């Protein structure tokens, strides 16, 4: 009988563990961002094996508790020596995240650049959303802005304590990878306040929604 052993090596397709470990170490030790290993893609399927996985390769891995996010280089080396985990960042500690559809997010970035405002690091997810890293504690500002602008329908989300987000970590085997739309500045670790960014982001989403409505009316009219 042929027994297939589960590989403990670099993983399916020779996954670039070194790139993922290097990215995890940079986030944890250079930035101080708590990191945890996420499920990974194996021939296009999520390692959690659920046929209905809502976020393939973008949720915490089965072997590591959600609460175990770490900044320890030794812990990270041990994790990434086992599997080609994706790199996840725990939000709510060193930063919160504002999460918006990419077209509206890029429009907001252009508007912010136009007035000379530094956005801080921004991740572009394969699901075509942008993640804006902001200072932690953005929850109240988020809800105030969403309520104040009647913007609950605009699909701007907030990630704080208890959430994780995927982080860029080089090419992933079997799937598109998150990448930096705005990379972390090597010499500047400051993050913007949510209050300075959220209004612009909500306005961009409102404009995008108005344009979509206009197009729908033209098509149906
Ligand atoms: Zn999964």
Which tens digits make up the pLDDT trace of 175-220?
678 999 999 999 999 999 999 999 999 999 999 888 887 777 777 7
pLDDT grade, residue 5 (50/70/90)?
A: very low
Global pTM? 0.87
pLDDT at 11 over 60: no
Average pLDDT over residues 33-42: 90
Cα 202 to middle of ligand 1, angstroms:
30
Question: Of 46-60, 62-76, 90-104, which gets the smallest average pLDDT?
Answer: 62-76
The whole-angstrom separation of Cα 54 and Cα 73 is 30
Residue 149 has pLDDT above 80, yes or no: yes
Rounded to whole angstroms, how far apart are CA atoms 143 and 200?
Answer: 15
Alpha carbon of 49 to ligand 1 centroid (Å): 6
Determine the distance separating the centroid of ligand 1 and the alpha carbon of 40, expressed in angstroms: 8
Close Cβ partners of 210 (under 8 Å, ≥ 6 residues apart): none
Buried b (16+ CB within 10 A) or exposed e, 53-82: eeebbbbbbeebeeeebbbeeebbeebbee
The alpha carbon of 46 and the centre of ligand 1 are apart by a number of angstroms equal to 5
- Mean pLDDT for 78-106 is 94
Other CB atoms closer than 10 Å to residue 160's CB: what's the count? Answer: 17
User: For position 61, what pLDDT does the model report?
Assistant: 81
Instruction: Check residues 39 and 170 and name the one with the higher pLDDT.
Output: 39
Q: What is the mean pLDDT of residues 147-154?
A: 90
Whether 2 has a pLDDT exceeding 70, the answer reads: no
- On the 0-12 / 13-18 / 19+ scale of CB atoms within 10 A, 97 is buried
Say which range, 5-9, 71-75, 97-101, has the weakest mean pLDDT: 5-9
Length of the chain equals 221
What is the structure's pLDDT at 175?
64
| pLDDT above 50: residue 1 | no
Q: Is the pLDDT of residue 13 over 50?
A: no
Q: How far is CA 51 from CA 45, 57, 65, 126, 160, in A?
A: 8, 13, 21, 19, 28
Average model confidence (pLDDT) for the chain? Answer: 86
Distance CA 218, CA 19 (A): 48
Distance 190 CA to ligand 1 centre (A): 33
CA of 88 to the centre of ligand 1 (A): 13
Looking at residue 12, its pLDDT comes to: 46
Task: Give Cα 156 to chain centroid, integer Å.
Answer: 14
Of 187, 202, 219, 94, the C-alpha closest to 145 is 202
């Amino acid at each position: 009988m042929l027994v297939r052993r589960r590989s403990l090596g670099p993983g399916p397709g020779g996954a670039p563990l070194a790139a993922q470990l290097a990215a995890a170490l940079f986030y944890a030790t250079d930035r101080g961002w708590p990191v945890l290993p996420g499920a990974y893609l194996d021939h296009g399927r999520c390692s959690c094996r659920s046929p209905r996985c809502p976020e393939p390769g973008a949720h915490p891995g089965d072997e590591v508790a959600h609460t175990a996010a770490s900044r320890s280089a030794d812990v990270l080396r041990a994790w990434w020596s086992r599997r080609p985990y994706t790199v996840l960042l725990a939000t709510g500690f060193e930063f919160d995240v504002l999460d918006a559809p990419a077209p509206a997010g890029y429009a907001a970035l252009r508007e912010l650049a136009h007035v000379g405002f530094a956005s801080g690091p921004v991740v572009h997810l394969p699901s075509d959303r942008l993640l804006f890293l902001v200072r932690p504690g953005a929850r109240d500002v988020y809800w105030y802005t969403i309520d104040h602008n009647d913007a609950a329908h605009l699909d701007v989300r907030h990630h704080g304590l208890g959430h994780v987000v995927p982080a860029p970590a080089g090419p992933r085997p079997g799937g598109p990878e998150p990448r930096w739309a705005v990379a972390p500045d090597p010499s500047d670790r400051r993050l913007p306040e949510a209050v300075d960014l959220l209004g612009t982001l909500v306005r961009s989403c409102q404009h995008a929604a108005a344009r979509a409505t206009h197009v729908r009316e033209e098509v149906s009219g």
